[in-house]
A and B are shown apart, each in its own frame.
Chain A
Amino acid sequence: MTTATTFGELVGTSQVIICCGTGGVGKTTTSAAVALAAAQSGRRACVVTIDPAKRLADALGIGELSNTPTDIAGPWPGKLAALMLDTESTFDEVVRRHAHDAEQAERILSNRFYRNVSGTLSGTQDYMAVEKLSELYSSGDWDLVVVDTPPTRDALAFLEAPKLLTRLLDNPIYRMVTASNRGIIGVANRAAQTVLRQLARVVGATVVDEAVAFFQSFQGMEDGFKERAQTTLTLLGDDRTSFVLVASPRSDTLDEARYFLDRIRAADLDAAGVVVNRMLPSVPVGAKRAAELRNELAGTSAAGAATALADLTAAAADDHDRVDELAEAAPHAVLVTVPLLTDDVHDVDGLRRIAELLTA
């Protein structure tokens, strides 16, 4: 990770920024604002979004899934582009790139097992987000690639993603079936036959046949895939790759954030930045005094204001303490807070406002 001392420096020096966190904390908006901040500092930045809110996507001109970045025009010295990840097409591209010839590629692309895997397998979206990152990074077109990670149940699914296919390819079934060329019947190994028959009882013979056909048509492509996965893992561990944790001050999302920090450290990585969104406004009166004021001003014309103040200070009371705890849990990360906004961000001006708050 980088050793930036300000968020602006982190945005200005990283080659890759990966934004992680639970849903509902403004991760997509933060990712886009980070890329915009980089463009404002003169860098060429591209953001890979997973599932942006429709109005924001429309405003950025990325309302449709795409595999190539769309330029976003604006008054910045650098360059800004965005894309909404198309998981299936990205997987197809990967297969075409690694296939020996067009015929092998077509055989795989038309296999039903492959279509199931590329379209719906949990983890595929993470795998392809990382694959797209790798591709954009190595194109040399970008100084910074920002990735908005999918909202997964497992905080580190995207780190596991590159290992997904290589693990599949190291599987004994794969090795067993690729020793033959004639489908399930042609599998010579008797132990393999037994296992495949058992599997057929569970999922049906068609699925097993298609899976065997898929693995057989994959022959010769393993090394390319494994090499790519290794390159990607190296990139994720690179000094100029920064993980940015996005959270809100609510206790449950901060619990998730701490859990995520533990997980990422277990993988010998660390968070370089923490963004806490949705901070309630600070007022120069504490919760205790606000509660007294509510009583004192009851029945007066200021009663409503006193209620608003008491509610606000009660809700915000421990926010700063909890954010401090998170800062202690991530001592090597630069931490920035962003206030709760009165409206959703759905245009470039809104993103610029966030970018300013992030790098101020």
Chain B
Amino acid sequence: MAGKGGVGKTVAAATMATAAARTGLSVLLVEVAGRSASAPMFGADPQGYEEATVLHEAGDDEVGSVTLKSITPDQALVEWLATHGFNRLIGRLASSGILEIVATATPGIKDLLVLGRIKALADESTYDLIVIDAPAAGHAVGFLRSPRGVRDVARTGVLHRQAGEVLDLIGNPDRCQVVLVTIPEETPVNELVETSFAVEEELGVRLGPVIVNAVLPEVAGLDIDLDDLTDAELALNDDERTALALASAFRAGRAELQTNQLERLADLLPLTQIRFPQLFGTTVGPDEIAQLADVLTEAITALPEPVSP
């Protein structure tokens, strides 16, 4: 799951994980930013590197679950060195700052190792689905580009092999796809379109549907003249009339902007749009995620069956 900062990418990832768990899948939700932003959405405390199962959902046949896991680049590098026979060296390397040199010598190595760790988890098949809350937009492309970069720089060695394996995984449309998240505003829509071309054409990674977050539900009758109200409504005081007029004008303006951007997105990008309604509360907890998961489940059910190429 990838998207510009501030579009609700973490909310969308938590929703995706929850909707999948409801169908009986065991889901691993991976965060790569170091601090768990999704734990509160499951009513849990923010987690560290350890895994924590935060949700159990009764599916049709099996009980699905969501497990949170944080993988940071530095931890992935140390862990990778340990599992590739560099165990004795790690202490020395870390204390002398040589790890930094390795990372400097090979741009993208840390991102690659995070992906490598995820690939290992995918191969273990402990989980049916792994949802990755990817770094914010521009970084997401760099993140997915990292295996190519490393493969081109490190022409030999274990790292070269690792890069090749990760490329096989992310380039396989049956195993991996990218879901882009945006909101119906101009700049986020533009960035989503740019990212989508980078992901699909440059990186050769399959794109799933687009999630448009925070879509205002349509409200009729915003253009009424409050001076023309009938007797029953005349109980309104001046403040209330003013407030109703201000809120109507604001909502109508936002709705128009949103319609334009949704149409523009459809014109620019021939991908299915899954629209999440704007939540008017101020925090996102388990109830809100459950509500969005209903919307997502319904939208996924309505998608056409995938056609094999």
Q: Confirm or deny: A102 has a beta carbon within 8 angstroms of a beta carbon on chain B.
A: no
Given contacts A171-B97, A203-B106, A251-B283, contact A302 B244 (CB under 8 A): yes
Q: Which of B6, B139, B188 contacts A153 (CB 8 A)?
A: B139
Contact string against A for B residues 41-52, beta-carbon threshold 8 Å, 1 for contact and 0 otherwise: 000000000000
Q: In whole angstroms, what is the CA distance A87 to B69 when docked?
A: 34
Evaluate contact between B100 and A285: CB separation under 8 angstroms: no
Interface residues on chain A, size class: 35 or more
Q: In whole angstroms, what is the CA distance A285 to B106 when docked?
A: 58
Q: Confirm or deny: B126 has a beta carbon within 8 angstroms of a beta carbon on chain A.
A: no
Q: Give the A-B contact count at a CB cut-off of 8 A.
A: 216
Evaluate contact between A51 and B280: CB separation under 8 angstroms: no
Chain B residues 155-175 with CB under 8 Å of chain A are 155-160
Residue of B nearest to A309 (CB): B247
Evaluate contact between A172 and B96: CB separation under 8 angstroms: yes
B-contacting 9-mer, from A92-100, A193-201, A221-229: A193-201
Evaluate contact between A315 and B247: CB separation under 8 angstroms: no
Evaluate contact between A283 and B155: CB separation under 8 angstroms: no
Q: In whole angstroms, what is the CA distance A307 to B224 when docked?
A: 13
In angstroms, how far is the closest chain A Cβ from the Cβ of B266? Answer: 19
Q: In whole angstroms, what is the CA distance A51 to B250 when docked?
A: 30
Q: In whole angstroms, what is the CA distance A301 to B244 when docked?
A: 12
In angstroms, how far is the closest chain B Cβ from the Cβ of A170? Answer: 8
Given contacts A151-B5, A302-B229, contact A293 B244 (CB under 8 A): yes
Q: In whole angstroms, what is the CA distance A189 to B86 when docked?
A: 21
Residue of B nearest to A52 (CB): B187
- For residue A322, which residues in chain B have a CB less than 8 angstroms away from its CB? 282
Given contacts A202-B86, A251-B283, contact A22 B5 (CB under 8 A): yes
Evaluate contact between A251 and B282: CB separation under 8 angstroms: yes
Evaluate contact between A195 and B98: CB separation under 8 angstroms: yes
Evaluate contact between A297 and B233: CB separation under 8 angstroms: yes
Q: In whole angstroms, what is the CA distance A40 to B153 when docked?
A: 49
Evaluate contact between B34 and A153: CB separation under 8 angstroms: yes
- For residue B281, which residues in chain A have a CB less than 8 angstroms away from its CB? 314-315
Residue of B nearest to A322 (CB): B282
Q: Confirm or deny: B135 has a beta carbon within 8 angstroms of a beta carbon on chain A.
A: yes
Residue of A nearest to B187 (CB): A53
Q: Confirm or deny: B215 has a beta carbon within 8 angstroms of a beta carbon on chain A.
A: no
Q: Confirm or deny: A208 has a beta carbon within 8 angstroms of a beta carbon on chain B.
A: yes
Evaluate contact between A343 and B186: CB separation under 8 angstroms: yes
Given contacts A24-B5, A289-B240, A315-B282, contact A308 B247 (CB under 8 A): yes
A-contacting 9-mer, from B197-205, B251-259, B292-300: B251-259
Evaluate contact between B6 and A24: CB separation under 8 angstroms: yes
Q: Confirm or deny: B185 has a beta carbon within 8 angstroms of a beta carbon on chain A.
A: yes
Q: Confirm or deny: A353 has a beta carbon within 8 angstroms of a beta carbon on chain B.
A: no
Secondary structure of the A contact surface, majority rule: helix
Evaluate contact between A311 and B188: CB separation under 8 angstroms: no
Q: In whole angstroms, what is the CA distance A318 to B283 when docked?
A: 10
Give the number of residues in B that approach A within 8 Å (Cβ atoms): 81
In angstroms, how far is the closest chain A Cβ from the Cβ of B218? Answer: 10
Q: Confirm or deny: B275 has a beta carbon within 8 angstroms of a beta carbon on chain A.
A: no
Evaluate contact between A305 and B102: CB separation under 8 angstroms: no
Evaluate contact between A168 and B101: CB separation under 8 angstroms: yes
Residue of A nearest to B253 (CB): A342
B-contacting 9-mer, from A4-12, A64-72, A117-125, A237-245: A117-125
Q: Confirm or deny: A13 has a beta carbon within 8 angstroms of a beta carbon on chain B.
A: no
- For residue A302, which residues in chain B have a CB less than 8 angstroms away from its CB? 221, 224, 226, 229, 233, 244
Q: Confirm or deny: A139 has a beta carbon within 8 angstroms of a beta carbon on chain B.
A: no
Evaluate contact between B4 and A285: CB separation under 8 angstroms: no
Q: Confirm or deny: A317 has a beta carbon within 8 angstroms of a beta carbon on chain B.
A: yes
Given contacts A54-B190, A173-B98, contact A201 B247 (CB under 8 A): no
Q: Confirm or deny: A331 has a beta carbon within 8 angstroms of a beta carbon on chain B.
A: no
Q: Confirm or deny: A186 has a beta carbon within 8 angstroms of a beta carbon on chain B.
A: no
Residue of A nearest to B283 (CB): A251
Evaluate contact between B219 and A283: CB separation under 8 angstroms: no
In angstroms, how far is the closest chain A Cβ from the Cβ of B298? Answer: 22
In angstroms, how far is the closest chain A Cβ from the Cβ of B138? Answer: 7
Given contacts A25-B6, A284-B242, A293-B240, contact A211 B107 (CB under 8 A): no
Q: Confirm or deny: A116 has a beta carbon within 8 angstroms of a beta carbon on chain B.
A: yes
Evaluate contact between A305 and B248: CB separation under 8 angstroms: yes
Q: Confirm or deny: A23 has a beta carbon within 8 angstroms of a beta carbon on chain B.
A: yes
Q: Confirm or deny: A207 has a beta carbon within 8 angstroms of a beta carbon on chain B.
A: yes
Q: Confirm or deny: B269 has a beta carbon within 8 angstroms of a beta carbon on chain A.
A: no
Q: Confirm or deny: B132 has a beta carbon within 8 angstroms of a beta carbon on chain A.
A: no
Q: Confirm or deny: A304 has a beta carbon within 8 angstroms of a beta carbon on chain B.
A: yes
Q: Confirm or deny: B58 has a beta carbon within 8 angstroms of a beta carbon on chain A.
A: no
Q: Which of B86, B157, B280 contacts A315 (CB 8 A)?
A: B280
Q: In whole angstroms, what is the CA distance A321 to B69 when docked?
A: 33
Evaluate contact between A305 and B232: CB separation under 8 angstroms: no
Evaluate contact between B232 and A203: CB separation under 8 angstroms: no
Having A120-B108, A195-B93, A207-B153, one finds 16 other A-B pairs with CB under 8 Å, namely: A53-B186, A116-B105, A119-B107, A153-B136, A198-B89, A203-B157, A206-B156, A207-B105, A252-B37, A300-B232, A304-B222, A304-B248, A305-B248, A306-B244, A309-B248, A315-B281
Q: Which residues of A are interface residues toward B (Cβ below 8 A)?
A: 22-25, 51, 53-55, 112-113, 116-117, 119-122, 151, 153, 167-168, 170-173, 195, 198-208, 210-211, 248, 250-253, 280-281, 283-285, 289-290, 293, 296-297, 300-309, 311-315, 317-319, 322, 342-344
Q: Can you list 12 A-B contacts (CB < 8 A)?
A: A25-B5, A153-B136, A172-B97, A199-B102, A201-B86, A203-B102, A203-B109, A248-B6, A252-B10, A300-B229, A300-B230, A309-B244
